[in-house]
Amino acid sequence: MHQLVGKSFLSDTSTTTTSWLEQYIPSQDQRQVQAFIDKAIKAKKPFELAHQVIQANRTLGWTFSRAIPIFNAMGEITEWFGTASDITEHKQAEEALRQSEQRKSFLLRLTDALRPLDNPVAIESQAVRVLGEYLGVNRIGYAKTQEDEKLVAVTLHYKQDVPGIEGLYRYEDYGPQLLQDMQMGKTVVRSDIARDSTLSDAEKAAHATLQLGATVHVPLVKQGRLEAILFVHSQQAHPWSVNEVSLIEETADRIWTAVEAARVEGDLQVSEKRLRLATEAAQLASWEWDLVTDTVYWNEQHFRLLGMAVQSEPLQSDAFLNHIHPDDRSWLTALLTKSITEQSLYDTDFRVIREDSAIRWMHGYGRVTVQEQDQPLRMSGLMFDITDRKEAEVALRETDRRKDEFLAMLAHELRNPLSTLHNTLLLLRLTRGQDETLSLDRALGMMSREVNHLNRMIDDLLDVSRISQGKIQLHKERLDIGKLIREALEAARSQFASRGQALTIKLPKEPIWVDGDATRLTQVVRNLTTNAAKYTPDGGQIDVTLEQQKGQAVVRIRDSGTGIAAEQLQAIFEVFVQVSASLDRPQGGLGLGLAVVKQLVELHGGRVGVDSLGLGHGSEFTVSLPSLPDGGLQHTSAGAGHATKAGRILVVDDNADLALTTAMLLRHKQYEAHTCLSGPDALAAVESLQPAAVLLDLGMPGMDGFATCRRLRALDWGKHGVIVALSGYGQEEDKNRTRDSGFDGHLVKPLNLQALTELLTKLLSISESGT
């Protein structure tokens, strides 16, 4: 403190007072100080004032002045007596305190405003509102740097009395240093843009367009990249105080921290939610096992998998262990213990017994998730039901085993007839049919039986594969099923008679009509009756009945044979299934017949069933087919007709033996048969012979069957002549191809004489009636 004595404030020496004021008091305070002095003189009282002064070093300081005016006898002021103390430090401390209080209360408000928010956008907008109100500025917002770092997208969250400025901007339009400074993480402060000498006129104009008088830009730099800016705009020039700038920086910092936390939290929540959804969708049971307290925590699915009521309270681990199948309990417990002590993965299949006593297969998966100083504290994992998969695996293994058995049996079954054929041929060659023990008739009988047997097996094999691939096509027509049964069984009567088996057929008087494929339904009836004969001892009884029941034609084939054990009843209709699968089965067969029957009947919209009172008590097979209402339509099945009129047939095959034997068979059926061995020969032969029909092999060298057919069709003869393909290929698509190539029919080798004569009869009569 120093003494102030003198005349400096004398009112009459106003120049002195004025110069004191001008010299020491900042211009904006001069008027106020003068007023104080005048008031003191007038009241003749001491004058006391804390005021700012311009210090010797031209900086501002604070002084507390106390002066007493001294008056003469006439009441005129003569001089002042007083003291002046430098209170700059005190004032600064006071100001700092005030500012810090203000700052504290602002940050408190900011924290309160942000605390309940968990979404980044809400955090940003709320924070700038608090900051904007506190600073009393015109605009606060964010700008996000774009892929091209020179561009920035502005979003605004707070504005007062100014238009919005959302949009894309280029940093370089607002001053050369702006981008560089911010890229280095420096806050850019501009207090008076209109007078800023670092800005060009164009840049000032750009600022003016946005009504920018003063700005603060706080950058957010992440991993060396300028990510975003928090900006504060004032419409008027504004001398930003250090305090304000640091407050803006602090706010920016808090916003970004909160936004980042919200984002991480949000991501976490999303991923947790996703995991929960996935767990639920996959019907996964999840569990946590507190190893210290031995309590387990399950989700709802865990309870459900064990058939338990859902409980919210944790359970003891026994609740799980007690549900494990007794056969799996000890090894599973050992495995869990091992995975806890060795901290290894627990990953295994096991069985549980549910509360309702059902046994289910589970897959368990888990590992220790919390440990302290190598002490496992908690284990967690998942469990899901794999019963379906396990059952499928078992079924697959079973099918595989059956297939292996089937292949072994197939080889065996094929070898048997082949061995007989081979032996008979050898004997015939040696004896020329002269040995009485093997007469030619007997040898031929044996050989044709074996060939038929081989044929049947191959047919069954092909049928099974065609049906299962959906390649079989039914040629349905309205037919009398009773008539079909009678005809099918007439042909097989000798088979029963030879074994002394009695066959009775009971059919209703009235026809029962079904919409069916005659060939395929005959096959069904023959398969079932052949089985009945096969599995019934000599002298047994076989009864076939047909009746109409509730819109169904029901065929029953009952035998007094071996019967079928109850547990086998369903399985026998599956492919490869035979009740006695040992290789020395006296009856032979491939275990395909019933599978074919079932599939064919189902293709007709019908059902097959089987019943047996058990082994030794015979069996009864039932076929139900939807029947058609009785109608006047005539039965149009091709039936088992015979050639009524012999004709001239030309057989064309490059295999001379086959051509010859086929011609001989035809002659046997009263046809006039000729042969030739190639396409060109056939063309010439047709011209000279003018046959009624040509039987044409497809696979011939040079001109094949298709080319030959084309050329034949080009002849005059071809306009009416019948051409039938004879081929080793008999699939539906092969038949379609021959039909499309101009053939009238298609027969499969080896030639079925009856089928050939039936076809020729049909075709020739058509061909004749057409001419």
If binding is defined by CB under 6 A, does position 535 make contact with ligand ADP?
yes
| Cβ neighbours around 44 below 10 Å, total | 12
In the bound state, the residue with its beta carbon closest to ligand ADP is 589
By CB under 6 A, residue 485 contacts ligand ADP: no
Of 248, 479, 521, 572, the one binding ligand ADP by CB under 6 A: 572
**Kind plus residue range of the DSSP H or E element containing 193:** none
Nearer to ligand ADP, 289 or 535 (CB): 535
Give the binding-site size for ligand ADP (rule: CB under 6 A): 20
- Considering only residues 40, 87, 443, 590, which one is a binding residue for ligand ADP as defined by CB under 6 A? 590
Asked if 578 interacts with ligand ADP (CB under 6 A), we say yes
Are the beta carbons of 215 and 232 closer than 8 angstroms?
Answer: yes
Looking at the Cβ atoms of 561 and 721, the one nearer to ligand ADP is 561
- The residues near 516 (Cβ < 8 Å, ≥ 6 apart) are 474, 476, 477, 479, 481, 484, 604, 625
* Stretch of 103-111, 388-396, 591-599, 692-700 contacting ligand ADP, by CB under 6 A: 591-599
Question: Residue 365: CB partners within 8 Å, gap ≥ 6?
Answer: 345, 346, 347, 381, 382, 383
* Comparison of 51 and 558: residue with beta carbon closer to ligand ADP: 558
Closer of 53 and 577 to ligand ADP (Cβ): 577
Pairing of strands 139-145, 225-234: antiparallel
User: Is residue 480 involved in binding ligand ADP (CB under 6 A)?
Assistant: no
Closer to ligand ADP by CB, 137 or 564: give it.
564
Q: How many CB atoms lie within 10 A of CB 333?
A: 13
If the CB atoms of residues 175 and 593 are measured against ligand ADP, the closer one turns out to be: 593
Closer to ligand ADP by Cβ: residue 591 or 691 = 591
Contact letters for ligand ADP, residues 595-634 (x by CB under 6 A): x-----------------------x---------------
713 Cβ contact list (under 8 Å, min separation 6)? 719, 723, 742
Contact flag: residue 591 with ligand ADP (CB under 6 A): yes
Nearest residue to 525 (alpha-carbon basis) of 564, 562, 479? 479
Stretch that binds ligand ADP, among 331-339, 366-374, 577-585, 663-671 (CB under 6 A): 577-585
Question: Closer CB to ligand ADP, residue 369 or residue 465?
Answer: 465
Q: How many CA atoms lie within 13 A of 348 on its CB side?
A: 18
In angstroms, give the least distance from the CB of 504 to ligand ADP.
16
Among 124, 203, 385, 559, binds ligand ADP (CB under 6 A): 559
Q: Indicate which single residue of 339, 523, 531, 637 sits in contact with ligand ADP (rule: CB under 6 A).
A: 531
Pick the stretch among 199-207, 462-470, 573-581, 716-724 that binds ligand ADP (CB under 6 A): 573-581
Contact 562, 536 (CB under 8 A): yes
> How are beta strands 346-353 and 359-372 bridged, if at all?
antiparallel
Q: Does 592 bind ligand ADP (CB under 6 A)?
A: yes
Peptide bond into 511 cis (omega under 30): no
Shortest Å distance, C-beta 622 to ligand ADP: 12
Residue 733 in tokens: 């698509």
Closest CA to 319 of 343, 292, 352: 352
Binding flag, residue 589, ligand ADP (CB under 6 A): yes
For residue 178, give the H/E element and its range: helix 178-183
Q: How far is CA 359 from CA 19, 161, 286, 315, in A?
A: 108, 75, 20, 22
To ligand ADP, the closest distance from the beta carbon of 542 in angstroms equals 9
Alpha-carbon distance values, 270 to 120, 262, 274, 279 (Å): 15, 12, 6, 14
* Binding residues vs ligand ADP (CB under 6 A): 531-532, 535, 559, 561-562, 564, 572, 577-580, 589-595, 619
